[in-house]
Amino acid sequence: MGLPTQFETVELGRFHHPVGADDLPGLVLIHDVWGLSPHSCDLAAELASEGFGVLEIDLYRNHAKEPIEDPGQQIRSLVDSEIVADLESGADWLKADSVVCRGRSVGVVGVCMGGTFTLLAACQSDCFAAATPFYGILSYDEGLIAGPDGRDFTRKAVSPVEAAPNLRTPLLASFGGQDTFVPDEHVAALEVGFVASGTAFEIDRYPEAGHAFLNRTREDAYHEESAQAAWARVTRFLHDRLD
């Protein structure tokens, strides 16, 4: 059982932290394509219970509140460079404006779509001291991001695989071996790029897990054994890297 937590709504999303605590390392948590949800709220609360101040950032806060009917189209509509800048704003808020985390280092965590943006932030930003992506899309030239009309380079200029040689943030990535959105060859290419970067990284693969294996709200996806193992690894990594 972790620390009791609370959250309040802030301009950038929801801020979770242990009750009565301060002087904590910070985390920017990036939701999946569905936005702020019970799943992302649960993850933020769990991270807060581990002793972090967690900004559950709302990437859609300035978007029209319309139902998402096509997840692929929703992701393709987002401009990656704008998202990374938004994540940097989240890190700046934690470091400067949050009493709980002021002056402390900040990490970035993301699931699904948020995993993709975590990878990009780790390769394109100097705001973060640690990054822990869960199963993000790695290639933009095929599959979900390419879409029926091919890749839109104005929105999706650099994929995680292409950005990997520029990794600048210590990183622990978690992938499911049964994830059809993330083929083994994409993970292998990501690893090659990370090696070239010279930055410390680890990639964990959970052979029996599929996409969204961390998501308890989805019985079809949640894989308890893999989720518990990955969570233990990730929280230990974040505690080791953030001060």
Dihedral (CA of 200, 205, 210, 212) sign:
negative
Hey, what amino acid is at 62?
A: N
DSSP structural state of residue 194? H
Share of the chain above pLDDT 70, in %: 100
Q: Which residue did the predictor score with more confidence, 200 or 147?
A: 200
- The pTM for the full model equals 0.97
What are the Cα distances from residue 155, in Å, to 73, 117, 127, 149, 196? 12, 13, 22, 14, 26
Domain definitions of the chain by residue range: 5-241
| Alpha carbon distance 185, 170 (integer Å) | 22
- The burial of 50, by beta-carbon neighbours within 10 Å (0-12 exposed, 13-18 middle, 19 or more buried), is given as buried
Q: Cα–Cα–Cα angle for 83, 127, 50, nearest 5°?
A: 95
Q: pLDDT of 68-90, one tens digit each?
A: 999 999 999 999 999 999 999 99
Q: pLDDT of 134-164, one tens digit each?
A: 999 999 998 889 988 899 999 999 999 999 9
In the structure, what pLDDT confidence band is assigned to residue 60 with cuts at 50, 70 and 90? very high
Residues whose CB falls within 8 Å of the CB of residue 204, separated by 6 or more in sequence, listed in order: 172, 173, 174, 175, 230, 233
| Alpha carbon distance 130, 237 (integer Å) | 8
In the structure, what pLDDT confidence band is assigned to residue 1 with cuts at 50, 70 and 90? low
| 147-152 long-range contacts, CB within 8 A, separation 24+ | 147/72, 147/73, 147/76, 152/76
The CATH superfamily holding the domain 5-241 is: Alpha/Beta hydrolase fold, catalytic domain (3.40.50.1820)
- The burial of 19, by beta-carbon neighbours within 10 Å (0-12 exposed, 13-18 middle, 19 or more buried), is given as exposed
| Alpha carbon distance 159, 35 (integer Å) | 21
* Cβ proximity of 39 and 30 under 8 Å: no
- Above 70 in pLDDT, residue 45? yes
In the structure, what pLDDT confidence band is assigned to residue 64 with cuts at 50, 70 and 90? confident
The SS3 assignment for 184 reads: helix
Q: Average pLDDT over the chain, rounded to whole?
A: 96
- Above 70 in pLDDT, residue 181? yes
* Cβ proximity of 243 and 128 under 8 Å: no
Mean pLDDT of 90-109: 95
Q: Which residue did the predictor score with more confidence, 162 or 67?
A: 162
